Structure 1
């Protein structure tokens, strides 16, 4: 039987019928479809799912350590313990920053590294319990799947056992990082000592089974091919079809300064917007796509809202080092009023949310 060739019309027909796109469709959207037509299709899907709403969140972001021995070639943040720029926050310092006034924020986001003296269940279970007791109104988005894998291997326990301990202490959700590209060829180059693609997916599968909803990401613009980007998206969609536990997908543009992949340079605006749009179209079963303004800058995030994204994040109380260390010149925090004004200027309705996308008042 002759296979119907992929065209914009066949893709549009699938979208109208709520039929998942194939990997071939995804590659076509990246490599052959006119840029503006991809954007139109993505914006139509975004509008069907989320109307005119554009979400933001008031949160505090902490990188509690930059000591890491994973050795990822794309990373500008990690340091070995004896390096001058290495740091590790104590429990008291973490609690002081997490609970500092004003603590009228809705989400605490923590990411560290593979730090043998901090990234452990023994350290974090009591730390989370104490944070949850002091700021019970704040939802805790803590750790990537790679960090969970590292903690559980060190504790010689299953993902289920480790995640249960963290959940029972007060963890709300896992962050989506550590996915990079979920293809072995790429991971063998960029992160060979970190959780494998299968391990990353399994951590999220187990978390979803325990009632822990999570985000997911894709780090693009380095050694991967377009086909590998699409494979990554397809794997996320397949897990979502199984568990329904992903709340949001976040495409992350590679930032090249100060790491071993610097020669690949910065992604371009067209690639960024097309990636947001293709992600929206491929991930039909994930409700939210984020144009992460700390990665893209606020102006590109505004454009992203017209290319399939419905969220721009919104870190306001912020100590985000990862992108700054990789050469980002974007201001790492912004007032709520400026975020709302940027959303309105783009033609959308600013909608303040919590970690699990419950709409909060006042907007």
Structure 2
């Protein structure tokens, strides 16, 4: 049976959910790695590994969603709750630009008082001051929350944010796109169909998007497979996902607790992601949760990109996971794995090879 599945993959034929589950549960690690590496080589024959110089600016940690897997959020009356002033945000972006950064990723919590006007003013100010920076911000949950607070539809909200300077939408808040899992780990957050609806609407407006998956909390292998196929189907229906980013749940300081996935489990899911999502060009390795050494190995398990250098990152760090990476270290890591490093834009245009 596994031989038949590998034959289909070699012939560039899509596999079924059942076959993907079989690979995940019964396939050997190196077997999955070889299959995924073959697809990466076919899609990216230039032996190049890309990255972007970016910064994550978490504009607030106040969040009504209060997900059980999150160590970052605070209630509004918490002593360390915050909402950044505009000038503080601009200062962070100026620092990014000084270091040659091209991507701003702004995400926060579902703040009870921040409607559309707050983001229109902020994004307009960012675009005016830093036109060279791609504003790759918010998440489907944040967009839905802003729409609800503002009495707008998701489409109206996206249109207004886009006009104000929001360029593209990251795939945060996907976790696992299966509602039975979502009810366990994030019962107050939007369901998977609402997440998908925001991404479909963004695609109709011509906005690039990305997709993510956080695994290793309490989902089953079947849920991981279902997530991948839901992403694949969204893309085939006109999605604009430029990349897929799987990463592992970090249990430190969280209400959910538990343990995280092992490096072997991470690599198997990464490889399966590359195999299933052959209609998404790029798959990112997660050095943020795995560290540099596993990130190098990930480049032989389907990943062709290592995401951002992240001048700043607070959400994963709040769970006690704080790997850091400078541009120079990123270049060294990629060269050390035998690839050509290339700095890119958010939409994967190559800016410079090293």
The aligned residue for residue 321 of structure 1 is 314
TM-fit CA distance, 1:131: 0.5
Which residues of 2 match residues 7-46 of structure 1 at below 5 A? Answer: 7-46=1-40
TM-score with structure 1 setting the length: 0.94
Which residues of 2 match residues 58-207 of structure 1 at below 5 A? Answer: 58-100=53-95, 102=98, 104-118=100-114, 120-207=115-202
* Alpha carbons 2:214, 2:246 under 8 Å: kept: yes
Which ranges in structure 2 are unaligned for 5 or more consecutive residues? none
Which residues of 2 match residues 342-361 of structure 1 at below 5 A? Answer: 342-361=333-352
Higher mean C-alpha deviation, range 16-25 or range 212-221: 16-25
TM-fit CA distance, 1:227: 0.2
TM-fit CA distance, 1:116: 1.8
Give the whole-Å Cα distance in 2 for the aligned partners of 1:355 and 1:165.
Answer: 21
TM-score with structure 2 setting the length: 0.97
Give the whole-Å Cα distance in 2 for the aligned partners of 1:352 and 1:8.
Answer: 38
TM-fit CA distance, 1:16: 2.7
Give the whole-Å Cα distance in 2 for the aligned partners of 1:193 and 1:226.
Answer: 24
Give the whole-Å Cα distance in 2 for the aligned partners of 1:18 and 1:251.
Answer: 22
* Alpha carbons 1:110, 1:143 under 8 Å: kept: yes
Distance 1:86 1:131, change over 3 A: same
The aligned residue for residue 258 of structure 1 is 253
Which residues of 2 match residues 170-319 of structure 1 at below 5 A? Answer: 170-263=165-258, 265-316=259-310, 318-319=311-312
Q: Secondary structure at the match of 1:276?
A: helix
The aligned residue for residue 3 of structure 1 is none
Pick the aligned partner of 1:341 from 322, 328, 332: 332
Give the whole-Å Cα distance in 1 for the aligned partners of 2:37 and 2:9.
Answer: 12
Give the whole-Å Cα distance in 1 for the aligned partners of 2:132 and 2:63.
Answer: 31
* Alpha carbons 1:255, 1:326 under 8 Å: kept: yes
Which ranges in structure 1 are unaligned for 5 or more consecutive residues? 1-6
* Large movers: runs of 4+ above 2 Å: none
TM-fit CA distance, 1:204: 0.1
TM-fit CA distance, 1:83: 1.4
Give the whole-Å Cα distance in 2 for the aligned partners of 1:156 and 1:295.
Answer: 37
CA deviations on 1:279-327 (whole Å, 9 max, x unpaired) are 00011101110012112111111110110001111324x2211111111
TM-fit CA distance, 1:18: 2.2
Q: Secondary structure at the match of 2:212?
A: strand
For these two proteins, the number of residue pairs brought into alignment is 352
